[in-house]
Structure 1
Amino acid sequence: MLPLPPFNEQKRLVAKVDELMTLCDELEAQLAQSKQESEKLMQAVLQEALTFKRLGKTG
């Protein structure tokens, strides 16, 4: 059997894990939003490039 830390220490550890899980959730949401914004930006850049090409503009 593994010895368990005192109850107060267990509560502190659980609170820390909860805090870190919340942080992970926030980071995942930020990453998803950044990916979405990156994809939108890439689409805008491609659209702009195609528009310039159709109009015969360079540089």
Structure 2
Amino acid sequence: MMPENEDIWIESALYSPAMVKDAVDVALDLLNGKDVDKQTIIPTTIVDRDNYEEFLDEDSPY
């Protein structure tokens, strides 16, 4: 399956759902007065025309 817009490079930066847990853990630590690393970087996954097939789900309703 070829991308519909071959002249346009379309990509998306996806965050893991686990990022929500990480963010809540940091927030709880802050609320409890603990020191936290304020430079925490949560990595993203880039999805584009080169790797989009890895993220397709045949069973997805979308």
Q: TM-score, structure 2 length as denominator?
A: 0.32
Larger strand proportion of the pair: 2
Greater radius of gyration (CA): 1
Q: TM-score, structure 1 length as denominator?
A: 0.33
Larger helix proportion of the pair: 1
